[in-house]
Structure 1
Amino acid sequence: MKVEIWSDVVCPWCYIGKRRFESALRAFEHREDVEVEWRSFELDPTTQSVTTRADGPSDAHARKLSAKIGRPVEEVRELIAHVDAVAAAEGLEFHQDVSVPANTVNAHQLLHLAREHGVQDAVKERFLHANFSEGEPLGDDDTLVRLAAEAGLDEAESRAVLAEDRYVDAVRADVAEAQALGARGVPFFVIDRKYGIAGAQPTEQFLQVLQRAWQESRPLTLVGGDDAEACGPEGCAI
């Protein structure tokens, strides 16, 4: 069974959704038969990156978000605090007060490379943790290469990918495909191209859909042998 997950590395609900899905997967009886692929989605392709870490906690993130969504800064602070509390309940430690703006196209390029090398989930996790817990500037190529190397990618190959924009078309194709599938935001989960799950749903919801998709995609288990008494095209057993 294949699960495709569209998300962005600067999306807090994507990180929370990742944890909830992982909890569901651990509880899923057939988890060893599930393939997970992380697909690209850019929340704001026009973002101008800050390429240095913040000196310390600041109100910059709240003010930027306030300007973007047109809500008072104090209200936005409360929204951020709520998200941080939800993240904490999933075992995540958010420090959004040190997050800096990042254009994420190059992070997504390295995630495509990571998939080819079988370390996509590790690189995805490293990028998310770096952004939300450490305040690393994900819009800085040197930072991305270092973080990707920590998760298993070769530094020289990562630098070559970014220099060549090797996966830019693949990133754009992922975004277009998400929109074609009906995604209006992320995280967006697609299971066996049959079930779509929008948002960071509760763990129980993910588990229910995994179980349903598994049951519908697998034939019945035959109990008993072919020699059981029954009738068929050639007549009935005597």
Structure 2
Amino acid sequence: MKVEIWSDVVCPWCAIGKRRFETALAGFAHRDDVEIRWRSFELDPQAPRERDGGPGPLAAKLGVSVEQAREMQDSVTATAAADGLEFRFDIARHGNTVDAHRLLHLAWELGGAALQGALKDRLLRASFAEGEPIGDPDTLVRLAASAGVPEDEARAVLDSDRHLDAVRGDQDLARRYGISGVPFFVIDDRYGISGAQPAEAFRQALDQAWADAHPLTAVGGEGAACTDGSCQV
């Protein structure tokens, strides 16, 4: 089973959705047959390399007061904590994420789902819990190396435009699917799940997708059976 997930590394609901999906997957009987691939989605392609992740920019973007924006961030921080995640908007240093996405494509190229998943987790933790400047190339190289991506490979990508076409390709595919917000989960090119749904909703989607892809085939004809409260005797 193939699961593709469009998300951004400065998207709090993407981090929460990732954790909830992982919770659902842990209880899925066929989890070892599921391949996850992270797809690129830039929430703000025009963002500078570094930007304060506190309530100020959010207030300006949404047209609300700074206090209202802070309350929004406090609310999502509490939600994240309930799912076992630490969010620190007070120290966040968000920014342009195109280079982070290019490195995620590099990770897929080098190590498939395992290495890409490790880097995705590392970038989200750096972005939301550690206050790392997620748009800074030197920081990204260091983070990639800590996730298992060779430092020289990461540096070579960021010193070029490699994988930029893959990032744009993911974004074009998102538009064709009609994806306008993230996280967005696509199972086997057939089932779309929008947003950070509860784990049980993800589990139901996985069960349905698996059942639809592996229908039962009756063999051996009909034997004696009990149905509708009566039995053949």
Corresponding residue of 1:29? 29
Q: In the TM superposition, what whole-angstrom CA distance separates every residue of 1:52-83 from its partner, at most 9, and x where no partner exists? A: xx8xxxxx620111011111111111100000
SS for the counterpart of 1:39 is strand
**Which of 109, 113, 117 pairs up with 2:110?**
117
SS for the counterpart of 1:197 is strand
Corresponding residue of 1:108? 101
SS for the counterpart of 2:43 is coil
Corresponding residue of 1:75? 68
Corresponding residue of 2:130? 134
Corresponding residue of 2:46? 46
Alpha-carbon contact 2:94-2:127 (below 8 Å) kept:
no
CA drift at 1:173 = 1.0
Correspondence 1:86 to 2:79 = yes
Partner AA of 1:17 in structure 2: G
SS for the counterpart of 2:48 is coil
% same residue: 60
Superposition RMSD on alpha carbons, in Å? Answer: 1.6
Q: Which runs of 5+ in 1 are unaligned?
A: 55-59, 230-238
Corresponding residue of 2:227? none
Corresponding residue of 1:18? 18
**Which of 175, 185, 188 pairs up with 2:181?**
185
Partner AA of 2:138 in structure 1: D
SS for the counterpart of 2:44 is coil
The 1-side partners of 2:94 and 2:214 are apart by: 45
CA drift at 1:218 = 1.0
The 2-side partners of 1:15 and 1:222 are apart by: 42
Partner AA of 1:143 in structure 2: T
The 2-side partners of 1:33 and 1:117 are apart by: 20
Divergent runs of 4+, >3 A: none
CA drift at 1:117 = 2.1
Correspondence 1:2 to 2:2 = yes
Q: Which runs of 5+ in 2 are unaligned?
A: 224-233
Partner AA of 2:95 in structure 1: A
CA drift at 1:33 = 0.5
Report how many residues are paired: 220
The 1-side partners of 2:217 and 2:148 are apart by: 40
Corresponding residue of 1:148? 144
SS for the counterpart of 1:134 is coil
Corresponding residue of 1:96? 89
Normalising by structure 1, we get a TM-score of: 0.89
**Which of 195, 201, 204 pairs up with 2:197?**
201
The 1-side partners of 2:130 and 2:105 are apart by: 23
Alpha-carbon contact 2:16-2:196 (below 8 Å) kept:
yes
Corresponding residue of 1:172? 168
